[in-house]
């Protein structure tokens, strides 16, 4: 894009895009370059890379009474953020101010952790108060770095913008109320030609209590802001060049996919492509806003555009079967739980009661599959939830287990869900068979398959030890 247009761009920078002096300088350069093409630019930033993990770890250590860890973490947080302040903010007065705020927030962190230590527990609300500090720190640095580079900029904590329910650690936004706040707070800044820099990841309840949108939630923040402004485009800046045919950490030869449809993107991210948070797709789809995923360190590469489902379907017709599957993903650390018994067919509402019992433990179920016989229900859950889920199921079906209508409720060892995603899957018969053959030829054992939960995805369950090889094998299959 070369001509300035009266339009609005939301840009989100992930942790590695702001985690070092070099990265943040590059982010600043990218924002300034985009400001030449776009009249209104709104920035959303994650915490510096590693910071949210450190905050989470600190709360866990605090619960266990580890005072030493709290003090060390505070020192590390101050050091990490001071370094960037010193490197990126030239004006002594502005640098001193940024440092003072950093010190303050880090002291808040230590105080909160000490309170958790005394109580011996961290409620979800307390967790959110602590983990939100990462973005509250980074947003100040990025806004100040932009100012120092000559771009008028103002940081905003989205506790004043994104209104959510009180489902701490995974809060849901109220878009109407958020929209009203955006109009009141962001629009005036944009009218003055400022670049607002917003915290990703966090919001607040109507009463003003800080919430977070779930790990990796800054993408979701960008989508919410993009949809409510509304923006003309949302760009997600990260450390890889867009959405790739597989996680490049597992498959080094993975390639950038130039265009994916909303539906494909939703499946890819839902089934483990961490490059975009699964919840980030919906708000922008509903407004038809294009999303671009691009590389902070290769800003001239186009990356990936997420396009409408209609355009995606048209592409399949145009390209024929050349690209039935676009990408392969993996979700690790799962277990498959099976409820089985010959008498199950006669028991009313088994499925509803099964998933009711799972839901009561607060566990998410990425995949439901029909096992070989119809007298069983199988589904996957994260491995750490297995004990709670089994317990809940045993309680729900005590009677049926006693009467042998249900023979057993059991869990596999750790497994992975491997998913192939592509619009072409729905028009192309026999893909599942080919996928199986490819895995069979590589001597990989498939425990279960789920096709049809979505028209554009096929999921397979394999042992954890086989996960990497399964992704590589399928990747080879789709790209050769």
The footprint of ligand ADP (CB under 6 A) covers: 14-17, 46, 216, 238-240, 243-244, 246-249, 273-275, 327
Q: Is 134 in the site for ligand ASP (CB under 6 A)?
A: yes
Q: Which does 244 bind (CB under 5 to 8 A by kind): ligand ADP, ligand ASP, Mg ion, none?
A: ligand ADP
Between residues 14 and 283, which has the closer beta carbon with respect to Mg ion? 14
Among 13, 38, 168, 201, binds ligand ASP (CB under 6 A): 201
User: 392-421: which residues touch ligand ASP (CB under 6 A)?
Assistant: none
Q: Is 215 in the site for ligand ASP (CB under 6 A)?
A: yes
Residue 257 near residue 242, CB atoms below 8 Å: yes
For binding to Mg ion (CB under 5 A), which residues are involved? 14, 216
Min dist CB 17 to Mg ion, Å, is: 10
Residues 42, 281: Cα–Cα separation, whole Å = 18
Q: Is 178 in the site for ligand ASP (CB under 6 A)?
A: no
Residues 140, 146: Cα–Cα separation, whole Å = 10
Q: Which does 273 bind (CB under 5 to 8 A by kind): ligand ADP, ligand ASP, Mg ion, none?
A: ligand ADP
User: 141-170: which residues touch ligand ASP (CB under 6 A)?
Assistant: none
Number of residues that bind ligand ASP (CB under 6 A): 12
Q: Which does 290 bind (CB under 5 to 8 A by kind): ligand ADP, ligand ASP, Mg ion, none?
A: none
Between residues 251 and 276, which has the closer beta carbon with respect to ligand ASP? 276
Min dist CB 137 to ligand ASP, Å, is: 11
Residue 195 near residue 42, CB atoms below 8 Å: yes
Residue among 273, 263, 255 at smallest CA distance from 307: 263
DSSP 256-295: B-SEEEHHHHHHHHHTT-TTS-GGGHHHHHHHT--EEEEE
Residue with tokens 């992930």: 14
Residue with tokens 């287990």: 401
Between residues 31 and 409, which has the closer beta carbon with respect to ligand ADP? 31
C-alpha dihedral sign at 67, 69, 72, 76: negative
Stretch that binds ligand ASP, among 212-220, 250-258, 403-411, 432-440 (CB under 6 A): 212-220
Between residues 70 and 293, which has the closer beta carbon with respect to ligand ADP? 293
Among 19, 173, 217, 226, binds ligand ASP (CB under 6 A): 217
Residues 377, 214: Cα–Cα separation, whole Å = 29
- Give me the residues paired with residue 306 across strands: 260, 291
Q: Is 46 in the site for ligand ASP (CB under 6 A)?
A: yes
Cα–Cα distance list, 296 to 2, 38, 43, 259, 303 (Å) = 19, 18, 13, 18, 10
Stretch that binds ligand ASP, among 3-11, 214-222, 347-355, 420-428 (CB under 6 A): 214-222
Residues 80, 20: Cα–Cα separation, whole Å = 9
Stretch that binds ligand ASP, among 31-39, 215-223, 364-372, 387-395 (CB under 6 A): 215-223
Min dist CB 243 to ligand ADP, Å, is: 5
Between residues 9 and 246, which has the closer beta carbon with respect to ligand ADP? 246
Cα–Cα distance list, 325 to 94, 418, 428 (Å) = 51, 13, 10
Residues 214, 278: Cα–Cα separation, whole Å = 11
Min dist CB 84 to ligand ASP, Å, is: 16
The number of CA neighbours under 13 Å toward the Cβ of 193 is 6
Residues 326, 321: Cα–Cα separation, whole Å = 11
Which residues contact ligand ASP by CB under 6 A?
Answer: 14-15, 46-47, 52, 134, 200-201, 215-218
């Amino acid at each position: 894009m070369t001509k300035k247009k009266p339009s609005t761009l939301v840009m989100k920078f992930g942790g590695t895009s702001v985690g070092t002096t070099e990265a943040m300088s590059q982010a600043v350069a990218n924002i300034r370059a985009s400001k030449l093409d776009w009249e209104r630019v709104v920035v959303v930033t994650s915490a510096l890379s590693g910071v949210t993990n450190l905050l989470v770890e600190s709360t866990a250590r605090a619960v266990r009474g580890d005072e030493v860890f709290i003090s060390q973490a505070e020192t590390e947080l101050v050091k990490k953020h001071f370094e960037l302040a010193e490197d990126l903010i030239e004006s002594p007065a502005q640098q001193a101010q940024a440092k003072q705020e950093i010190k303050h927030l880090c002291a808040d962190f230590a105080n909160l952790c000490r309170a958790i230590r005394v109580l011996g527990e961290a409620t979800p609300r307390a967790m959110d108060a602590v983990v939100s500090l990462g973005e509250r720190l980074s947003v100040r640095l990025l806004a100040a770095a932009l100012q120092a580079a000559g771009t008028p900029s103002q940081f905003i904590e989205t506790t004043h913008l994104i209104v959510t329910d009180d489902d701490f650690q995974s809060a849901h936004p109220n878009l109407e109320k958020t929209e009203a706040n955006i109009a009141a707070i962001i629009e005036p800044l944009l009218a003055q030609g400022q670049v607002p820099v917003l915290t990703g990841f966090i919001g607040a309840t109507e009463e003003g209590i800080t919430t977070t949108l779930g790990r990796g939630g800054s993408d979701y923040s960008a989508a919410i802001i993009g949809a409510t402004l509304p923006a003309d485009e949302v760009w997600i800046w990260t450390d890889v060049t867009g959405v790739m045919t597989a996680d490049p950490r597992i498959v080094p030869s993975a390639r950038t996919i130039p265009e994916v449809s909303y539906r494909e993107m939703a499946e890819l991210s839902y089934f483990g492509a961490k490059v975009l948070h699964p919840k980030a797709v919906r708000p922008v789809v509903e407004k038809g806003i294009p999303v671009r995923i691009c590389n902070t360190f290769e800003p001239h590469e186009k990356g990936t555009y997420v396009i409408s489902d209609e355009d995606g379907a048209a592409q399949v017709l145009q390209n024929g079967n050349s690209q039935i599957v676009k990408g392969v993903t993996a979700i690790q650390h799962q277990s498959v739980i099976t409820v089985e018994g010959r008498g199950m067919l006669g028991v009313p509402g088994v499925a509803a009661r099964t998933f009711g019992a799972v839901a009561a433990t607060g566990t998410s179920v990425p995949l439901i599959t029909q096992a070989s016989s119809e007298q069983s229900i199988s589904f996957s859950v994260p491995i750490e939830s297995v004990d709670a889920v089994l317990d809940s199921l045993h309680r729900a079906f005590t009677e049926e287990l006693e009467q042998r209508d249900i023979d057993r409720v059991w869990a596999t060892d750790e497994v992975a869900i491997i998913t192939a995603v592509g619009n072409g899957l729905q028009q192309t018969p026999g893909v599942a068979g080919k996928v199986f053959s490819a895995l069979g030829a590589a001597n990989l054992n498939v425990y279960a398959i789920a096709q049809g939960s979505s028209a554009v995805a096929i999921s397979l369950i394999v042992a954890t030890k086989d996960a990497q090889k399964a992704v590589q094998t399928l990747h080879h299959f789709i790209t050769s």
